[in-house]
Structure formats: structure tokens, C-alpha cells
Amino acid sequence: MSVSHRYALVGGHTLLPQGLETEAVVLIEDGVIAEIGSDTGGARAVDAKGLYVLPGIVDLHGDAFERQLMPRPGVHFDIQLALAETDRQLVANGITTAYHGVTYSWEPGLRGRDAMLQMLTALEDAKPHLACDTKLHLRQETYNLDGEQEVLSWLAEGKIALLAFNDHLPDILRKLAQPHEVMNILQRTGLPVQDLHALANRMAARKDEVNGSIRRLAGAAVSANVAQASHDDPSPEVRQWYQELGCGISEFPKTKPTAALARELGNHVVFGSPNVVRGGSHQKNAVAAAHMVSEELCTVLTSDYYYPAMLPAAFRLANEGLCSFAQAWAMISSNPADAANLKDRGRLQAGLRADITLVKAPAGRTPHAVTSVIGGRIAYAGFESPIYTH
């Protein structure tokens, strides 16, 4: 839906690079922010009074779409249906750019090769029909050695927007020794426990091949100008190693010293918005994201496994005095855009894409998106959207 090719947002609490302003007029023309000033220049005015006018949310790591693919263990749905439903959730929650975190693993099933190939094709086919600017965040399991050549070719072909290195093999081996914890993995892979155990052990025996594969993939990502992340960095030494490979994003570092080194190196440090909204991680012994924010050791928040968490997480951080509102919103807008080398979005600034989220934050209620603008077009309009009153 489009209000017109040229219109202006007026009267809102507008977050500009210099801070919140109440008199700013955001003029949108042909998909970009044409000007930020004090009058509409004759353009149609959309009254944003009582709303926050904010840069659109950029989500670097979201895998909640897996629940659209498999809402119950062993129950599969069509990928196009899942992508379309996910798209509606994204824009309704103010997310204007989304990186779908798709795991490419040595496991079969939901995260295996066949599923990866189907997702690549489906995402390419779906893009013209999606409102949110949707990109591929390929989560390469480092022991997926047989998939290396395919990932190298996808990097060269421009199919990957963000490459992350993951190693869940130790966790899977640990859970295999505790049968009450392994059920979700068995359901995801479709393997009997003895077959999964044998496969995991075969992978573990190839340990000496892993670092070489990571080096080759990282080198290809640097050549393709694709941002890279290392997932669950366990120590400063591991983060330093990835930094030397050109991998400048630390996703969910396991310890405070690891996050501290990442920041010293100038890396972006990622934690999950659900962690902030819930007051802590759902995983035992994981660091609290809000604490890392207060220590200035977190620069990016993602949806992780729950899209609705991003917007309220930023407001909660500011309301609790852990950082300014501008700093909190930057964690879900300009900072992730910078981390992913997206130069055309993340801020309300003349010449950038008109990706804008209008937010209502009523006292005593959860703040929520009422309108999402993507490339100047109205991608979502709730019943409280100002477009319905003009």
C-alpha cells in the first residue's frame, strides 16, 4: 500500500541522528527521505502526533520462521506459506529489514542440505512478494565440511548477505549423553538416537579439518564484502582468532571478557532482544543482555527466536536508565545496519531509504508499531495508524 509517491510525516517524536525532535517534518519522495525540515513543501501531510517516528528496525538474526516451517515436531508446512506468514509478523513488529538465520548443518532434516537448498530457492522466489526487505543470514555449522564448496559458490554468487560460523556439535554430543535433553534434536533431524550418535561421532573425528574450512570461507566472505559473525564465542582467544580472519561481529559471546575484547577490537557485539524483555536468558549460565548493555558491551540486539521482542526491548532499556533512548534504538537500527555494511538505511537522514517505524508507547502498556514504512511504501498499518485518519 502507498499513501502517495510524495508525503510528509509531521508532528511526531522524531529520532534524528542528533536526538529526538518534536518539530521535524520527514519528507518522503519516491522511496527515499528527500528532506528533514520544518514544513511539508506542499506534500501530503500524515499526522504522527503522539507517535514516535523512528528508523526502521534491522534484524540481523531471526530464526523464528522455523516455527512456521515446523510448528509442531515432525509437522511440516510449505516454505512459501511460512515465508509469507513470517513477513506479516516482521512488518507488524516494525522490522523493515530482516536477515533470516538459516542453519546449514551436517545434520539431516530441518537444518540439513535439502532444507537449505529449498530455502535458497524459496527465498529468491518469494522476495518480490514480501513487504520486508528479507535477506539470507547463512549460519554455517563449522563441522559441515561437505557443504563448504556450496557455501563458497553461494558467496561468489551473492546469495548470502551475512555469514555466521556456528559449532553446535559439542552441545549435541552433550545432549546425547542426557536422553531427556536430546528429544528436540531427534525431532528436528528425524533420526533415531543411535544414528544421530554415530553421525555426530563421525563429524567429531574430522576436527582437524575444521579450522582450514573456516579460513577458506572467511576469506571468500571478505572477497565478496559479506559481513561475518562468529556465534557463541567461548573465550577472548576465539574472538581474536575470528577477528584475524576478518570476522567483525561477535554473536552471543559466552563471557564478559570475550565481549570486552570484541569491543576493544571495534567489533559489534550481538545479544537477543528476548533476553532483555524477559530479564535474562532462557539458557542457564548465559549472560544477561541488559547487564551487557549497561556495561557498554552490547551494540546490537536481534529478534533471535521472537520477533515481537525487538521494539519493546529498546524502550525497556531506556526506561530502566541503562542507556539513552537514542542509544537503545540504535541497537536495533543504525548499529545492525552498520554491522551488515548497509549504508542506505538505519537512520532518518536525507538521501537514505525511507524505512520508518511509527510507534505508539502508551503509559502502562507495551510499546508497539502502528505503521511500518519500507522504501516509502506502507508495508503495515494497524488500526491506530495515522493513514486511516487522512
Tell me which residue has cell 518522503. 28
Is the pLDDT at 237 greater than 70, yes or no?
yes
The region, left, alpha or beta by phi > 0 then psi within -120 to 50, assigned to residue 244 is: alpha
Per-residue CA distances from 16 to 20, 21, 346, 356, 362 (Å): 6, 7, 11, 12, 21
Average pLDDT over every residue of 13-39:
95
Domains and their CATH numbers in the chain: 6-54+347-389 (2.30.40.10), 56-339 (3.20.20.140)
Q: Per mean pLDDT, which range of 49-53, 137-141, 158-162, 192-196 is the poorest?
A: 192-196
Average pLDDT over every residue of 175-187:
84
Res 283: pLDDT = 66
Beta bridge partners of 329: none
pTM to 2 decimals?
A: 0.94
User: pLDDT band at 373, cuts 50/70/90?
Assistant: very high
Res 298: pLDDT = 98
Beta strands in the chain (DSSP E): 6-10, 13-16, 19-21, 25-29, 32-37, 44-47, 52-55, 57-62, 95-104, 133-141, 162-166, 227-231, 249-251, 268-272, 300-302, 356-360, 368-374, 377-381
Res 208: pLDDT = 98
User: pLDDT band at 307, cuts 50/70/90?
Assistant: very high
Res 11: pLDDT = 95
Answer with the residue of higher pLDDT: 305 or 72.
305
Average pLDDT over every residue of 91-102:
97
Average pLDDT over every residue of 276-302:
87
- Lookup: cell for 50: 503522539
Distance in angstroms (rounded) separating the CA atoms of residues 37 and 15: 13
Res 2: pLDDT = 46
